[in-house]
Structure formats: C-alpha cells, structure tokens
Amino acid sequence: MSAVKTSSTYPELRRSGARIVADRLRAHILNQPEGAHLGSEDELAQQLETGRHTLRQAARLLEEQRLLKVKRGVGGGYYGVRSDMNAAADAAAAYLQTRAGSRADLFAAMNALHVELVRSAAISDLAEGRGWLATLRARLLEGLADEHAVEEFDFELRDCLFSLVRNPFLEFMLRIQVRYAFQAPDSPLVHLPERIAQYSKHHLQLIDAVLDRDPEIAMLAARRFSLLLRNWLAP
C-alpha cells in the first residue's frame, strides 16, 4: 500500500502563519495600483491581524515573488509592485537549465500550447495585431539572412501572436520556452541555409493561415513545424 501524501511530503501545502498572511497581503497588493503605498509595518500588522515577526516573514516571501518592496527610514513602508513577465520567464528558464531536461523535452511539452496560440490568433479580430502580422509576412518574403535574423524574427512573431491572443498564461509559458531555447548552451537550431529556408516556408504558411482566419490550417502548420524541430533536435 502506498504511503499517504501529507503536507510534510509537499512543502507547498504547509499553511504556516507566514504563508497565510502572505496570501492575504498578496491579494491586497493585486487589488491596488502598482507602486501603491500599503502602509507602515505597524499599520499592516494591525490590518492583517498578525504580529510584526509573522508580517516580516510574509514580506520576505512576497519580496522573493517581486510583488513587494519594503523601504526603511523616513518615508518608508510597504509598497506593492508587479513582477515583470520577462524577468520571471528568464528566472524560470535559468532554473530549467539546472535540471536534466533538454530542449527536445521542453519543445514537446510546449507543443500543445503553441498550437493553441496560433489557433487563438487565427480567430482574433484585433486589427492592430493583424497589421503587425502582415508587416512580418513582408519581412519574411524579403528573406532572413542568418540565424540572428531568424532569432529576431521569431521573437517578434511571438510578440505579435501574443498581442492577438492576449492570454497571459499562454504568453508566460511560451516565453519560458523561447528563453530556455536561446539560453541553452546547445548548438543553434536554425543556422544552416537549408534550415532557414525550411523555417521561412513553414512560418509563411502559418502566418497566411492566421491572416486568412483559418485556425485548422494554422494549427496544422504549427504541428508540422514541431515535427521539423524534433528532427533537428534528434541526436
């Protein structure tokens, strides 16, 4: 019989006083404008009905999450901030580099999210994003000179698709993938002329499908490029 899992098995399930206070303080921060002064230590301790020591522990947790800034001295106090998505994605990508996973593992895990991104982009009615995508299509037809041009184009294409979809969950997870792929010490994927040509061909099909508002073809193009990536990543 397998052992029963408890909060001692999973540290994230431990509900210490500091974590409970941190959850309440986080909710308060997210309901305030960015940079809002939340109060002094004494004021917050009274508001959250907790002691100063527990509040300081909770504050350290939220500082690690980049949601809180504590200023000391005159004019000090607790201030709510917002975590930057790019910084958070960089941190997550750096963490993944310390694990045993590979780019192939990450691309396989993220494939379904990328397919959903292009599907959602194809049914989006946001005119500004579609205009941006048409501009990228023209750049692609002009040709991508080298791997650096491919990287720059790929980053901008994803930003364009994110602007069409406006789904922060998809955006964050896929930004981790991009940052991990380009931070990893492995050899570049799209550096040979024939690979640049294949990249351009598949992404032209994807862009055309999104511009034509055809989610099925867009998803098919994304899946085909995923298969191509797997071949490139194969040992």
What mean pLDDT do residues 36-43 have? 92
CA distances from 158 to 3, 8, 90, 144, 163 (A): 44, 41, 16, 16, 9
State both tokens at 7.
């909060």
117-170 pLDDT tens trace:
999 999 999 998 999 999 999 999 999 999 889 989 998 999 999 999 999 999
CA 166 to chain centre: 12
Mean pLDDT over 27-45 rounds to 90
37 CB neighbour count, 10 Å cutoff = 14
Between 191 and 172, where is the model more confident?
172
Q: Whole-angstrom Cα distance, residue 39 to residue 58?
A: 15
> DSSP assignment of 132-174, as one string?
HHHHHHHHHHH---SHHHHHHHHHHHHHHHHHHH--HHHHHHH
pTM: 0.74
Count Cβ atoms below 10 Å from residue 200 Cβ, excluding itself: 17
Query: DSSP string spanning 66-92?
Result: T-EEEE-STT-EEEE----HHHHHHHH
Q: Which two tokens stand for residue 83?
A: 């975590």
Contact yes or no for 35/24 (Cβ under 8 A): no
pLDDT tens for each residue of 52-89: 999 999 999 888 888 899 988 777 889 998 878 888 88
Please give the CATH topology (third level) of the domain spanning 11-80. Arc Repressor Mutant, subunit A (1.10.10)
**According to the model, what pLDDT value does residue 14 have?**
60
Residue type, 217: I
What are 210's two structure tokens? 């999104």
Tokens, residue 128: 């500004």
We find that the CATH architecture of domain 85-233 is Up-down Bundle (1.20)
Q: How far apart are the first and last CA of the chain?
A: 40
What are the sequence ranges of the domains in the chain?
11-80, 85-233
Residue 158 has a pLDDT of 93
C-alpha torsion 11→17→20→23, nearest 10: -90
Mean pLDDT on 37-50 = 92
* Token pair for 129: 């994003």
CB contact set of 204 (below 8 Å; sequence gap of 6+): 137, 140, 141
Secondary structure letter of residue 180 according to DSSP: H
